[in-house]
Structure 1
């Protein structure tokens, strides 16, 4: 749409804010209200010209508009829905304009954000997301561009809910069934279950976690290393790189890993803080003591959960044994890798097994 076009003799288009596969977004002004306040117009149109799509798209549009109306009315960090309407088979949402910038402007490539900034950012996002999930809504497209820092008060505002975008992806297949052509979401911030069209509440949490990693590392998700077998984001064998030294962790230092030199062998645990923390501010993630996990032991990972939930049952499991991770002061360095796991019985006692208490 060109600037100057007026929708419903009411909303005058000022300029384009963005174009994408799901539709176009415009900055507009409300000609009927005093002061002609700014607003945002989202223009959504089905890709398919099949007439059978229109009633289905209309039903979906009405449902999602009602959801946005409910969310925006009851939370100040979600834009209020001002109007929704259909014209000539195309759909329009009019929402409150948020004066500010999205947080992609804050997450500068190759610049690591501080732990305090990252923790506060994640808390701010999760406070809004908790309300959304309480209303039984999955956002489905959480990414820096959809998180606005409101200029007035510095609060995070969650915009651009993904479910509405399904309208633009509807098609009717050869069997006459209505389907969506692509999964709604953004690669890098979208977990595997969402990519196959089965989003869960935890899918949004995954996206928030990826934003946290981006803030701490200065690297966008598509620049992070991936597991070639699963496609999931992975890291180096140790949080600090490809190898390990006794200046970084407490392990049996007279043995080596990869190209690292031999080092000291303390032969006992050390006080927390004796070695540097990882990017999340946690100490001794490699070495010092093995740590208990909530997961029970499984003999393989063939049916492991993909949504981040605890794995406490299933075939090939042994509920009497729990998973341990981390490595110990008397273990070889290869036992201190990120991916290393062993099993023990919870009732057993040993001087190399402990637990971590994290204060937030």
Structure 2
């Protein structure tokens, strides 16, 4: 059957191969390629259709959203939202649990966006057919969707309409997909401070969003309200006691016990006060991971992805680090190495084809961040004390093999599965973290600048973690560039396999040279006003330059120092740029 796009058509159903509607004469093929099969949704500002793409041999199915406002009152606002939805989908559709935008078409005075068809049932349908969700299922909903929210929020996008109808359990792999970005908006400083239009389904919307001031925590609230609805099959409106001014969802649990640990997490997700609510998806993920009872087995309705990783308990590995000792002999500097045994804890994510990711536990502590006046540049000052909690950092820069397993491609100039991936922008590094989080259920992210420098130093206060000087026997950089901190060495003119040089005292490799590494922070000209707790120092503009650390194969010796900083625009990539990933906390269950 072919379905007519004209909302005013009285008999929209047509024979399968018609090119024009037999009732109103409207052209049935959109853009001469997309044939509508049926109407699958409609509202005041348009309709949604299931279509076939006739230009492709397999005639794959897609979803088309048509903007066709029924009235004029809010048509301008609706047109803006429709346009923004296309923009949002183009920007965030790289995540495997967000529909991909395929096309935008204008035809017969209507606008259309063509996007990926997600074959499956939404959670409202699952709830109606299967009844209330059990604790294991709620945990899997959170585990599946929190990394998606983390990805969106890192891209400064707020969804603003999370509800059961907008979460589809994909039939192919049973992963949850977040759909309908018509209400999504950028969380710029101006947008967050400005009172805007109230958008979203009222029963799932946070109080501040009802006032037109949505924040990242507003999505946390909506996801929490969605979970409460799935637990008791009642509207969130009916679960809040207006007389007591608090949620009363527990009294409606019917033979469906929920552990105190999960209950506390859900309670904090739906707090009316922003101050009392979880602020980020990562915070909820960490709490969820920490709350898993040791003996409980998951009986989820959602199967893990076919790209599921396996996590081992914390293990330890031994290594040897070095410190350089300089001995001046006439006009030459002799470098002698003093060797030290080391030991560190780590856990490993095992992927397919023998590929793994090792995450080293970095102990918490206090250090002086930046460089003294005699060592560095003004952007590396003033030196300031930073206190950090324990965290995990990847043992090596992300390799090409690891990138291919997560992203399915290899952008690198210097090919080699054990070489660091390069030619990766800050945005692409963030996408990798989002996908890795979705595949493992852990909140992977880029390290903050403070975390990176602390980890690089490994407890030292010298320009390099191995001492006052650097040599091409200890790192991969431009050894032809001679200065006060280095003698002449070799210039390899390309990246090298990770792990070829001595690690630092924390057991981390390639912290100096090989590739520059993206950090989460935005660029600031100096450290005046920098955080003292190791958190990323961000700016309000997503287009702000971002931080790179560690030097590279083509860098001079000074640029490889622990304190050296470099700024690039977040969309820049070249063969000197890579990254490594971080994970908050000390415990991995």
TM-score, normalization by structure 2: 0.36
**Shift in Å at residue 59 of structure 1?**
6.0
| Paired position in structure 2 for 1:266 | none
CA distance in 2, matches of 1:27, 1:218: 29
1:200 is the counterpart of 2:166: no
For structure 2, which runs of at least 5 residues remain unmatched after alignment?
6-11, 15-27, 186-194, 278-587
* 1:215 paired residue number: 230
Give the Å deviation of 1:58. 6.1
Residue 274 of structure 2, aligned match among 284, 308, 317: 308
Closer, same or farther in 2 for the Cα pair 1:282/1:60, shift >3 Å? closer
Following superposition, the deviation at residue 306 of structure 1 comes to 4.3
**Cα deviations across residues 175-231 of structure 1 (Å, max 9, x unaligned)?**
xxxx98x632112111222223221111111111012212222323233244159xx
Within 5 Å, give how 1:150-169 maps onto structure 2.
150-163=170-183
Cα distance, 1:109–1:37 mapped onto 2, change above 3 Å: closer
Q: Please, what is the CA RMSD of the aligned residues?
A: 3.7
Kindly report which structure 2 residues correspond to 1:1-360, keeping only aligned pairs within 5 A, or say none: 1=5, 2-3=12-13, 5-46=28-69, 49=72, 61-72=82-93, 74-108=94-128, 111-163=131-183, 183-227=198-242, 234-235=247-248, 239-240=250-251, 279-282=258-261, 306-310=272-276
CA contact (8 A) 2:33 2:55 kept: yes
Distance 1:47 1:150, change over 3 A: same
Give the CA deviation at 1:80.
0.6
| Structure 1: runs of 5+ lacking an equivalent | 166-178, 242-276, 286-293, 295-304, 312-358
TM-score, normalization: structure 1? 0.57
**DSSP 3-state at the match of 2:57:** coil
Q: CA shift at 1:307, angstroms?
A: 4.6
3-state SS in 2 of match to 1:79: coil
Aligned residues: 240
Name the CA distance, whole Å, in 1 between partners of 2:237 and 2:47. Answer: 25
Whether the 8 Å CA contact 2:158–2:216 is kept in 1: the answer is: yes
Q: Greater Rg, structure 1 or structure 2? A: 2
8 Å CA contact 1:138, 1:201 repeated in 2: yes
Deviations 1:232-266 (A, max 9, x none): 76328xx558xxxxxxxxxxxxxxxxxxxxxxxxx
Contact 1:143 1:189 in 2 (8 A): yes
Query: Would the alpha carbon gap of residues 53 and 43 (structure 1) be closer, same or farther in structure 2, given more than 3 Å must change?
Result: closer
What secondary structure sits across from 2:157 in the alignment?
coil
Q: Distance in 2 between matches of 1:9 and 1:110?
A: 41
Kept in 1: contact 2:123–2:167 (CA 8 A)? yes
* Match in the other structure for 1:290: none
What is the DSSP-based 3-state SS (H/G/I as helix, E as strand, rest coil) of the residue aligned with 2:218? helix
| 1:147 positional shift | 0.5
| Secondary structure at 1:309 match in 2 | helix
